Amino acid sequence: MTGTVAAQERDQLSLEDFRQNYRLTLRRFLPRRDEAAREAAYDLGRRAFTASISLLDVCRVHHDSSLELLSETRAAEQGEIFETTGELLLEVLAAYDMTHRSVLDP
Q: Taking the domains of the chain in order of start, what are their residue ranges?
A: 3-104
User: pLDDT higher for 64 or 1?
Assistant: 64
Cα separation, 52 vs 50, in Å, equals 5
CA 76 from chain center: how many Å? 25
User: If you ran DSSP here, which 8-state letter would residue 35 be given?
Assistant: H
The whole-angstrom distance between residue 32's C-alpha and the CA centroid of its chain comes to: 15
Q: Mean of the per-residue pLDDT values for the chain?
A: 89
Average pLDDT over residues 79-96: 94
Query: For residues 45-61, b (16+ Cβ closer than 10 Å) or e, as one string?
Result: bbbbbbeebeeeebeeb
Radius of gyration of the chain, Cα coordinates, nearest whole angstrom? 14
Per-residue pLDDT band at 15 (split at 50, 70, 90): very high
In this prediction, residues 52-75 reach a mean pLDDT of 96
Residue 24 has pLDDT above 70, yes or no: yes
- In words, the CATH class of domain 3-104 is mainly alpha
Q: Whole-model pTM?
A: 0.82
pLDDT of residue 8 exceeding 80, the answer is no
**What is each CA distance from 48 to 44, 60, 88, 99, 102, in whole angstroms?**
6, 13, 14, 10, 15
